[in-house]
Every structure is written in structure tokens, then in C-alpha cells.
Structure 1
Amino acid sequence: MHISPERCIDGTLFPGDISAKSKTGNTPEVKITAVDNFQGEENRVILLSLVQSNKNRKIGYLQVPNRVCVALSRTRDGLFVIGNMTCLRQASPLWEKVISKADTLGLCGKHLELKCFNHKDTKMIVETPQDFEKYKDEQTVQRLEDCCHIFELSCLDEYMDKRDSERHVGMNVCPRCTTPILHSKRYGNVIRECSQDIDAAKRKINCLDIIKDRNEVLLATVKLKIKDDRAFFLSCIWQAKNKPHITAIRNQLNFYMSVTKSIAYVTSKYKDIILEEKRQDILKELHGLQKWILIQRFRFSEQELSEFKLELTRVRLSLRVEALMRSLQKIENGPQCDSEWTEMTNKSLNSGEKLNEKTGQKIEIKLNQLEKQYPHSGLGISDDERIMVLKAMGFAQKGHVYAIGDCGGAMTEGKCPECQETIVSSSHRLRDDNQVAAEMDGAQFSAWSEQANMQNYDLVAHLDEMF
């Protein structure tokens, strides 16, 4: 009677046995399950494995009547039980009755009678594990571990050796289902040769891309101003042997340039905008990020990429918040920020904890609104508006702002419309009691002043600007 593997169950009373059996590479069509998971179901053939065999005669779950009932009553055509029946009979009265009945009917035996499906006339009598060794030399079939299909040994050997003559690049596959053959003790050397051929092909294909990517990173590296940092990146580039390593160096270089740009920006642009102590704290954090970047590595993990982005965002938001607060403090009777937003900002940016991405987005949205209303110039206008009205601005004696037209230098005298004080002067010079409105463009002296005229002779400054 022929029974398909799908109609068979390999059952056990212990879940741990399922994992052990799965690793042996049994035919995948045969379901392996624990008896507890098989209640209410049945199948034509059940192979029941009982692993208890010990000197103390302890059988554990096998002495529970309900489990014994389920284990022995789920089959329709055939039940095959493999275990130490002597141990079971001595440990449980229930098993004594079951085994005695089976023994009376001639259903118990001391060995397994096995047959090779290719050699049906040959019987293999197996009673102990050592008995399997008797038939080892007579092996005529081979089962592939990856798909569990069985083939005649000489045919499979010829199939696996055929690649030596054809020399195709790729893994050999199962002739029946085309599953790649990746695991086999018998054909281990063939599998390794296939893997080496594939790796060699990959290196050759990716070679041109690697050279192109390396040159791009190299061009960006030689532009770095700090000699030691430039030497570090050059060393990493020459050691890179594959595309993922080049990609890691590219990311590393981009991160470095981003942090370096932030350091330069904080050093120059924010020198007079925020408190020096706070500025130094932010620079310290940026230098710490830069030091973390300059660690030789072969890849960036997803977590590292995410946390770097969040940390750089946190530092930049902290800088913007500090600049905004300083701007609001300079405004007489200026507005007060929402206390809830201020508390959230302090907790997220100054607590030392990782910035939450959604919280960072909320802070940035509010910052954009406030910066538009109260820019760093303190004039209540945006940078674009400031540039549009930028001329030679000055302060009258009592602090009122006025503009100078035409060429930008003070050419005529007039009256301040607010305090009637004399403003400007002549010959491109401000009056001694007038001041420069420095917050408009950061000018340290007025147009056409002696200081400005002296700059015309600063050749080094002009060369620096040109080159």
C-alpha cells in the first residue's frame, strides 16, 4: 500500500524533539509535531517517538493518561511507536496494559526492518545505532540537505562533477526543483569552488564602480583643510577594497564636512549673537561629534546613521533656540515664549537624552515661526527685508535711525524728523555725534570713514578674498 508523505505524522510528546528532528533534514512533506498540538486531528500513519529511557524508570509526560490517549488514538491506518518499552511497562500500569496487548497480537519487536527504495530485496535489520554502520558502505543514494530530494549516488556525482568541464559561474542546483545546493558534506569542495567563482566574478564586475567611487571620494578628501584629518581619510580610501567600504567612507566624509561646516558657522556667525559660554558648549559638542566620525570603520549601522542625524539636529536646534532667546531679550517689553514649548525644548535639547524625531520636528516648526517674527538682527524684519533696505544706516545723537542715499556716503546735513538733531555731514563723513547702525550689515565703521579707506590698501585681505 502506497501512502504519500503528506498523510504521515512524525509525533513526539516533547517540543524540544521537534527542533532536533528538524535539523536532521527529514522529508519536508512529513509533518513533525508535538502530541499536544495534535488534539482533535488524525492522519493515516503516525510515527510516535518516545525518548524516555533511563535507569530511574521516570517517564514524565508519558504517565499522564490523557496524553497517552491522544498519542495512541490519532491514526487511521498505521501506528508505529519507537521507544524503550521495558522502561514504560515498569513505570506505568497503563503502558503495561497497552504493551502487553500489542505483544499478544505480535505487534512488538526488538528491531526495525528497513528497506532501500532502490533495492527492495535488501532488508536492513537495525536494533542499535551501531547497526546503521553495517550498511554505510552500501550507500547507493544521496539526499540533498537543502531540498531533501533523493538521487541515485553515481548519477548525482556525475552531475556535480559536470561543472568542471562546463565551468559556468554559479551554484549547482537540484535537478528536480532547482534549489541551490549550498550544504553537503559529500560535495563540500564543489560548493566552495562555486562560491569562489561567484566572488571572483563579483569583484571583476564591481571593479570599475569601485574605482569611480574611490576617485570621487578622493577628490573631496584632498580639499580638506586640516592636514591630519585629510591624512586619515586618504589612509581609509587606500585600504578600501569593496563598494560597501567606499560607501562607508563617503558617508564618513559627508558627516565630517557637515559637522565642520557647523563648527565654522558657530565660530564666525554666532560670536556676538549668543552667550560665549553657551557658544563654547555647543562647539564642544560639535567637536565631540567630529571625533566620533574620525574612527576608522568599514560600515555604518542603521542605528549609527539615525543617531548621528538626530544628534546633529539636536545641536543645531539648541543653537537656534539660544539665538532666538537672546534676540527676544533685547526687545524691550518683548514677547514671552509659550511655557509648554520652552519646557519641551529644554527637556529635549539640554537633558543629554537622545532627541525624539517627532519632538524635534515640533520644535523646528515653532522655531521657524518665531525666527520669522523676531530675526537675529533685532529690527523686527527678516534677513531678506534687511538686505532690501540696506544702505548706509546711522543713528542720530538720540539713537534714531536714518538712511543715507545716493553713493552710500554722508554728503549733506539734515534734520532728524523725530528729534530735529543735525544728522549726517559732508565729504562722505558722519558727524562726530552720529553712530553706525551695525546690526543692519555687521559694519564696524561707516562708509567712506578712515577705517574703510585704509582697507583699500590691505592687499593681503584682497588676495584672501580672491583666492
Structure 2
Amino acid sequence: MKCPWKCEHHQCKKHCGEKCSRPPCDQPCKLTLEKCGHPCIGFCGDPCPPVCRECDKEELTEFILSGSEEEPDARFVYLEDCGHTVEAEGLEMWLNQKSSEIGMKRCPRCQATIYNNRRYQNIVLETYETVKKVKAKFNSYSNKNNIKRRDIELILQDRRFGVYFTTYAKKITVTLGVGPTNRRKKQKFLSDGELKLLYFQAQVLKKAVSILQESEEKDGASQNRSGISYRFDMQKVPKFNKVLKANIDTILERVMQQTVTIAPQMMKEVSYELQRQMILPAYWKFQEKVAGNCNEKLLMVKGRLEKLMDPTVIFDEELDKKVRNELKASEEYFGGLGISDSERVMIVQAVGLKQGHWFKCPNGHIYCIGECGGATQQSTCPDCKAPIGGVDHRLVSGNALASEMDRASAPAYPSMR
């Protein structure tokens, strides 16, 4: 059905319920009131206010909004939902004012919600759409947080909990009332807050396990990638991984101390701190590689990374992205392999040299020396133009064995140390 709002000056061409295509008419209404015959105080095309400027002056001016109510040419708008008549200029300012609260527009006199008003229908519709979006977002959030015991139990079925943080995992299982030992017991009631806490605790445990396992595998500390064939032995873990484990233990202790509910702020802080732990192993390796390097650009990268990795700074997603970009940029200066471990193995096998034939320039770019593995000629690095190779089976200054390429502990030719 087409919009019925029209007057001799304007006509809406949209359908009823859509945003009107015509502006509100600012011409005075030419009609007269039936009860007294005096001129209407409204606008052309709008519902006529039932109040008379002459007969009902006291009622018309008892509510002051803009101060123009007593002006002889003041125009008024009739609010059909509540029956109040309000001066147009003041009402328009009222409806267009910004507010921190999200809600429907209301009558300035009685605060009744405005649903039907053709003159300001576009404002009403825009407000309605905003409210609808907020409600949809809230309902979506509520649905996401409608956590069930089964959701938490599925996380706890991760077999890696038999290796890492077994005690914490069992604690959640007991509180949840699931698992083989609790099947015959009546499950106690858990509030939404308690379920939310347990779900977050389980998620944090899973994230912590992934961080530790990934760090171990990169350092060769893991004997089985499945992570289930051995117990966590701190004596066999490299130094940096011990620090990482201690950091994560501190985070977990804080999270697992919560018993009833958990504040959103704590959830955010813990998530950010776990994000920091994820990038720490790569940052530590960078520090090892850059030690003793005098490359000015690389030292600038080091300085920026030290500021970004300051433990007093909140490590959010934006900071994580910056750190990863700096680490990636650093590879240009000290030749990060930039390949996966499987690709590295394939390259070493394809070249066919024994261990101890791979070396790196002063900036860390990788190259190999064939035959006996001893340097017999000097050249320049194709990546950074630094001197590589050497003479008389001795490396030129600044070059070193690239054990990261073939895991060699010593050069194939003894004098190449």
C-alpha cells in the first residue's frame, strides 16, 4: 500500500512502512478546529492538534521546551501515541539530540514511546533500526554464551591433557560432574556464570597446551608429535621452554583460582597474555640470533621489538601483528630460513651433502660448500653482498656454520671452525 501522507505541497511515493521520500511540510495548516472554528496550529498535511491557540492557551503553554510556545506564529505537532501537543521547533531539537542510551524516541512531556508520527517518521524508523540491530547483537551474544556442560566436556576430551596440566583438567571435570567416575552421581546445578567460568578455564588450558607443545616441537624436545607418549619432564626441556612453562603456570594459577564466575576484564587480560606467550619463543630466538650482530638496521628492529615486548604493555591483537611484522622484517638482515621444517629437509636431501657443509654469511644468509666442505675461494653473498666462503680451508671472518640447516654440530672440514 502506498504511503497516504500527502498535502498540496508534497506527496510521498514510497510504500507504507518505508522511509518517506517527501520532506515534512513547513506551511501552516489551513483547516479550522471543529470545536471552536479557530485556525489549526499544526502543519499542512499533519494531523491537526486538538488544542486551540486562543481557547486553550494555558494548556498549550504550560510545558515549555524551546521557549517559542507563546509566539503568535508558533507551530505545534500532535503526538498520536500519547495525545500531547508539543511546539515543533523544540520537539525537533529534542528528537535529534544525541544520547548515550539506545532506545526509541519518546515524548518530551510524558516519555511515552513515539511509534506513529508522520512528520518525524524517518527519525522514528532510523531509531527503530538501531534498536533492532542492538537487540539482534545482544541475542546473538546471549546464544553464544548459552554454554552447556557438553561443550566443556568436549574440550576436556583432548588427549594432551594426559600430558599437560592433568590436575587442572581433572578439577574442571569434577566440578562439571562429568567423566567415568561421575556418571552415576547426580549432577549439581551450575549457574550460567559458573558454566562460563569452566568453559573459559577449559579453553585456556587447551590454548596453553598448544603453546607448549608447539614450542617443544620446534626445539626438538618432543619425542612424539602426538604429544601423548611421554610425561612432561622439565629436565629434558630447553631453558627457554622452562621459562615459557613458568609463565603459563602463573597465568593458569590465576585463572584456576576463580570458583564462581570470572570478570570479562580478566578474560580479556588472560587472553592477551596467552597471545604474548605464543610469540615469545620466536622473540627469544630472534634475540639469540641478533646477539653480537652490529647491523644498524637490525639493531633498530631489536629496539622496536624490545619496546613492543615490554611486559607492562597490554599485548592485544594489534601489538601481536606489529611484533610478527618486525620479526618477519628481521629475516632480511640475518637470513631466517623462511621455510618449513619439511622443506628444509627436502632441500638438504636434494643437495646431497653430508652434515657440516652448510654455512651462513655475517647477516645469516645460508649457503653451502661442496666437495670436502673446506673453503677454497671467496665470494659475495647474493642477498646482502657480504663476503662468504674463504681460502685455505678457512672461513672468512664473520661467517659461521649453519647448524639450523642440517643440524650439524661441527663443520665437515675441521679447520672450518
When normalised by structure 1's length, the TM-score is 0.38
Select the structure that is richer in strand.
1
Bigger Cα Rg: 1
State the TM-score, normalized to the length of structure 2. Answer: 0.42
